[in-house]
């Protein structure tokens, strides 16, 4: 189990959601 990798994936997901919200 790689917590750092999972954390980075979650950050990327959140950044994509934020950018999508800012565009709309």
Instruction: Tell me the per-residue pLDDT of 1-24, one tens digit each, with 9 for 90 and over.
Output: 689 999 999 999 999 999 999 998
The tokens describing 7, both together, are: 């954390």
Place of tokens 């800012």: 22
- The helices-and-strands tally (H runs, E runs) of the chain is 1, 0
What integer pLDDT is reported at residue 24 of this predicted model? Answer: 84
Tokens of 20: 């999508």
Degrees, nearest 5: CA angle 22-18-3: 170
């Amino acid at each position: 189990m790689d917590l750092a990798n999972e954390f980075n994936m979650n950050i990327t997901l959140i950044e994509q959601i934020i950018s999508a919200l800012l565009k709309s």
